[in-house]
Amino acid sequence: MSSEDLQLAVLSRAENVAVVRHAVAGLAEALDMHPAGVDDLKIIVTEACMNVVVHAYEDEAGPLEVKAVHEGDSLVVTVADHGSGFRPRADGERDSLRLGLPLIAALASQFEISGGPGHGTRVTMQMGLTEDGDAPAVQAIPDASEATEIKMPTGELVAPVLSRVISVLAARADLPVDRLSDAVLLGDAVSAGTGTGFPDGTASVAVEGEDGEVVVRVGPLLDGGAEKLRERMQLPELNGSIESLADEVGVESDGDGEHLVLRIGRASST
């Protein structure tokens, strides 16, 4: 995983497409992709994700996996599922694969689709940050869960991605404007503290927003990593801490390591 890669794992629900779109756009903007390219990127990511939502799983939502890889002058985005895979259509459907392929082909500099019955579908799309760029290798990512799971190397690109994801999920959870701002500030504080504490240098954050609250779960962290992250949220000049914006702050441990958990609800804790 390079210093400018992004992994997302969500459930294949229509409301999660916006989360993916904003996260990938946040990374693209942080990498200085030209504005028209960012707009096109949003469209093709939406098309590919909606294909998973509509066609991948028959009875209930399943994993929707997204990876964005930066190398050279390109950003390559892969959208994958573990559903039934694309299949030959009846004669009356030959004019469309129901994958938005014409639109993706028109906007992406390169794309490919792979998979089949029992193997899911993988759509890989390359976009130049300027006008041209070469495609890097694309790798698989973990399964999805109820939360939006973000994995990317620690560094300055964590902040724009995490901020966008938290903003979308806070709005979905119907948080008022002041609490949405608090949630984003907490996300920025988490991003600023992710330089240390992760076992392999990869920031791992899960965000879930529903029923009037947003829950941010950071980790797994090395032993003592959660407390160090809390220390970095201190504001000595104000004799306080940015974590006071959260309704609840806790440290949990499991077989993988420590997790710092922050919950932000509708009512301000201050």
Of the candidates 86, 92, 111, 93, the one whose C-alpha atom is nearest the C-alpha of residue 101 is: 111
Of the candidates 165, 130, 163, 215, the one whose C-alpha atom is nearest the C-alpha of residue 8 is: 165
pLDDT at 206: 93
Of the candidates 209, 262, 265, 263, the one whose C-alpha atom is nearest the C-alpha of residue 19 is: 209
Place of tokens 């993706």: 104
Give the architecture (CATH level 2) of 1-143.
2-Layer Sandwich (3.30)
Q: What is the 3-state secondary structure (H, E, C) of 43-110?
A: HHHHHHHHHHHHHHCCCCCCEEEEEEEEECCEEEEEEEECCCCCCCCCHHHCCCCCCCHHHHHHHCCE
Domain 1-143 shares a fold with domain 147-270: yes
pLDDT at 135: 36
pLDDT at 139: 37
pLDDT at 145: 64
pLDDT at 45: 94
pLDDT at 3: 57
pLDDT at 140: 39
What's the predicted TM-score (pTM) here?
A: 0.73
Fold of 147-270: Heat Shock Protein 90 (3.30.565)
**What residue ranges of the chain have pLDDT lower than 70?**
1-4, 85-101, 116-118, 131-145, 238, 268-270
Contact 56, 84 (CB under 8 A): yes
pLDDT at 19: 96
Per domain, the residue ranges of the chain are 1-143, 147-270
pLDDT at 10: 96
pLDDT at 100: 67
